Structure 1
Amino acid sequence: MKKLKEAGLFGSGLVPVSGSLAQRYNDCLAMLGVSPTSLLYFSIDAMGWSPEISEEKNENFYLNVGDANPNAIIISPEQKGKPVFMPSHSFDRDLMHAIFTAYNKQIRDITKDSAIVVHLDQHIDAFYSPFDLLKYKHISVSFSLLNDLTKHQKEQQQLVKKFNDGNNFIDREIHHQLLNSAKNYGDLRIRKLDFEPLSLNVSSFYTRAFGGVFLLRDFIKDVMVFEDIEMFKKAIKDTDHDVMLFHKDHDELVDLLKDHLIAEIDLKAAINDERYQRIKKNVFAGKLKTPEHGIDEILENQFLFKKYLNELDIDTRKEIMGVELYLDKLALSNQTKREDIVSNAYFKALHKPHSSLELEHQELIWKLLSKIAPLDILHLYWYDKAQFYKAYLKWNASHQDWAIKIINNAIKN
Structure 2
Amino acid sequence: MMRLVTRGLMFGNLFEVRAPALVARYNRALEHLTGKRTELEEFHIDISGYSPEIGDEFNDEFYLNPDGFNRKFILLSIDQKKCPLLNVRLSMSQDILRSYIEQNEEQLFVLTARDAVVGELINSVYSVDSPSDLFTIRTIEVEADTIGSDVEASEELSEKIEQFMKHKDGWWDDVLIAEMIELSKRTGNILRDPIHLARQTFEQKSFYTSHFGGIYLFRDVQEPGIINVNGAHDLTDLSLEYNCSLDNHYEIAAFLKINDLVEQITNTTLMTNSLAVLQQKMDFLVIDAAASNDEDLSNVSRRDLRDLRRKHRQDLPEAYHSLEKLMKSIIAGQQHFDLKPHDPAYFYLLRSKNHANKRLVNMLLSQLTPLDFRQLFICHKDAFYSAYRSWSDAKKSYVARFLEEEYILDKSGARMQLFGPEPAMEENEPEIEPAIWQGPWGPASMEQ
TM-score range for the pair, normalised by the shorter chain length: 0.7 to 0.9
1:209 lines up with 2:207 in the alignment: no
Shift of the alpha carbon at 1:127?
A: 1.2
Contact preservation (8 Å) 2:215, 2:226: yes
Q: 2:14 is matched with which residue?
A: 14
Shift of the alpha carbon at 1:16?
A: 1.0
Deviations 1:134-179 (A, max 9, x none): 22222221113213334555788979x8xx965969xxxx79x979
CA gap 1:123/1:255 in 2 versus in 1, 3 angstroms: closer
- Cα distance between partner residues in 2 of 1:126 and 1:318: 42
Q: 2:444 is matched with which residue?
A: none
Deviations 1:356-396 (A, max 9, x none): x41x3222100111122222222212111122233334342
- Cα distance between partner residues in 2 of 1:282 and 1:406: 13
Letter in 1 for 2:254: D
Contact preservation (8 Å) 1:89, 1:207: yes
CA gap 1:273/1:259 in 2 versus in 1, 3 angstroms: farther
Deviations 1:94-136 (A, max 9, x none): 2123212221121111112211222112221211222222222
Partner secondary structure for residue 194 of structure 2: coil
- Cα distance between partner residues in 2 of 1:47 and 1:115: 12
Shift of the alpha carbon at 1:70?
A: 1.7
CA gap 1:180/1:217 in 2 versus in 1, 3 angstroms: closer
Matches for 1:125-204 after TM superposition, within 5 Å: 125-150=126-151, 182=185, 185=186, 187=188, 192-204=194-206
CA gap 1:254/1:36 in 2 versus in 1, 3 angstroms: farther
- Cα distance between partner residues in 2 of 1:343 and 1:297: 35
- Cα distance between partner residues in 1 of 2:338 and 2:202: 47
Q: 2:388 is matched with which residue?
A: 392
Q: 1:369 is matched with which residue?
A: 365
Q: 2:230 is matched with which residue?
A: 228
- Cα distance between partner residues in 2 of 1:337 and 1:243: 25
1:248 lines up with 2:243 in the alignment: no
Partner secondary structure for residue 283 of structure 1: helix
Letter in 2 for 1:261: D
Contact preservation (8 Å) 1:294, 1:398: no
- Cα distance between partner residues in 2 of 1:132 and 1:107: 34
Structure 1: stretches of 5+ with no match in the other structure: none
Structure 2: stretches of 5+ with no match in the other structure: 165-169, 414-448
1:46 lines up with 2:47 in the alignment: yes
Partner secondary structure for residue 274 of structure 2: coil
Q: 2:106 is matched with which residue?
A: 105
Q: 2:374 is matched with which residue?
A: 378
Deviations 1:252-277 (A, max 9, x none): 21233124322243668699344323
- Cα distance between partner residues in 2 of 1:167 and 1:221: 63
Q: 2:433 is matched with which residue?
A: none
- Cα distance between partner residues in 2 of 1:141 and 1:75: 17
Shift of the alpha carbon at 1:295?
A: 1.7
- Cα distance between partner residues in 2 of 1:370 and 1:132: 26
Shift of the alpha carbon at 1:352?
A: 1.5
Q: Greater CA deviation, 220-229 or 88-97? A: 88-97
Contact preservation (8 Å) 1:156, 1:188: no
Letter in 2 for 1:362: K
Deviations 1:26-68 (A, max 9, x none): 2222233263332211112222222322343444433114122
Deviations 1:297-333 (A, max 9, x none): 33x322x2232222225353765333223665898xx
1:123 lines up with 2:124 in the alignment: yes
- Cα distance between partner residues in 2 of 1:55 and 1:276: 40
Letter in 2 for 1:316: L
Rg larger in structure? 1
Q: Greater CA deviation, 88-97 or 362-371? A: 88-97
Shift of the alpha carbon at 1:287?
A: 1.4
Contact preservation (8 Å) 1:139, 1:200: yes
Q: Greater CA deviation, 111-120 or 81-90? A: 81-90
Contact preservation (8 Å) 1:47, 1:74: yes
Q: 2:349 is matched with which residue?
A: 350
Shift of the alpha carbon at 1:201?
A: 2.0
Q: 2:83 is matched with which residue?
A: 82
- Cα distance between partner residues in 1 of 2:288 and 2:78: 43
Shift of the alpha carbon at 1:23?
A: 2.3
Contact preservation (8 Å) 2:292, 2:392: no
Letter in 1 for 2:404: I
- Cα distance between partner residues in 2 of 1:411 and 1:344: 30
CA gap 1:11/1:290 in 2 versus in 1, 3 angstroms: closer
CA gap 1:386/1:115 in 2 versus in 1, 3 angstroms: same
- Cα distance between partner residues in 1 of 2:241 and 2:152: 46
CA RMSD, Structure 1 to Structure 2 (Å)? 3.8
Contact preservation (8 Å) 1:85, 1:385: no
Using CA pairs below 8 Å that are at least 6 residues apart, which structure has the higher relative contact order?
2
Partner secondary structure for residue 244 of structure 2: strand
CA gap 1:412/1:218 in 2 versus in 1, 3 angstroms: closer
Letter in 2 for 1:371: Q
